[in-house]
Homo-oligomer: A and B are copies of this chain.
């Protein structure tokens, strides 16, 4: 888990539970099995009606992507493409056929394969842009899942609270149980709002950033392969691809491959 997420979880739950403890409230009174059943059951039930089972599974898997920072490899991708560009310049684009076999990234593999097969730059770009558009939509499904969960959770929490209040109101004759009953009812609200604001929505937000970053990598690959296919100067290609990096990545870009490129 990356440092920020750990600090975030500690801050959020520590602040909320710690504040309650300092104020003299028992943290135990916040643990209510039935409230959890209503809020979690209602939220994920609604999400399962809205989304196909496959999206539910993908959304569960996506949580780890949100919590752990992926190794940023955009600089490596650029270095790899510049290597191919230099080779294509010296030995012709067909010489890349042997390299294509060993490429792991299926997107880069498909694009380079089409380039080696002699597909026109315009057709290659169109085909790969359709592929990217579909990747983009597919990757947005888990984001929409967690946003939906973040939307349902507080209202299901309110349903839980109102159910509790109805229960309380029916027993209004016995005032001694009144306060306790209302307290239990309110816990459902706390669950619904907390899960939405500290878990579901932050996960959706983090996933959105990660997804955008992964799409930038595809854009770099597509721009690079098309440039290779059009026989552009490797140095210009590098300038162009480095424009996709953010300011930090540009500053820390390794000098070695650049030098090598300039020589080539």
Interface residues of A (CB under 8 A from B): 2-5, 7-16, 18-20, 22-25, 29-30, 33-35, 37-42, 44-56, 69, 114, 119, 123, 126-128, 130-131, 134-135, 137-138, 141, 148, 152, 154-156, 158-160, 162-173, 176, 178-180, 182-184, 186-187, 189-190, 193-194, 196-199, 201-203, 205-206, 209, 212, 216, 223, 236, 239-240, 243-248
> Which residue, A22, A23, A53, A168, has most C-beta atoms of chain B within 10 A?
A23
- Tell me the complex Cα distance, A100–B55, Å: 36
Contacts of A159 in B (CB 8 A): 16, 190, 193-194, 197
Whether A180 lies near B190 (C-beta < 8 A) is no
B236 near A119 (CB under 8 angstroms)?
Answer: yes
Contact at B3–A15, with CB atoms within 8 Å?
A: no
B171 touches A179 (CB 8 A): yes
12 further A-B pairs in the complex, CB-CB below 8 A; given A11-B45, A131-B243, A134-B244: A8-B46, A12-B46, A14-B41, A15-B42, A15-B45, A16-B163, A23-B34, A29-B166, A46-B197, A51-B206, A55-B209, A166-B190
Q: Decide if A45 touches B10 in the complex (CB within 8 Å).
A: yes
- Assuming A131-B243, A186-B166, is B45 touching A19 (CB within 8 A)? no
Interface class of chain A by DSSP: helix
A169-B180, A201-B46 given; A52·B209 CB < 8 A: yes
A205: chain B residues within 8 A (beta carbon): 50-51, 148
- Select the residue from A24, A162, A170 with max chain B CB neighbours within 10 A: A162
Interface centre among A18, A48, A51, A212 (most CB of B within 10 A): A48
**A59 to chain B: closest CB distance in Å?**
12
Query: In the assembly, how many copies of this chain are there?
Result: 5
A69 touching B52, Cβ below 8 Å: yes
Q: Are B158 and A198 in contact (CB under 8 A)?
A: no
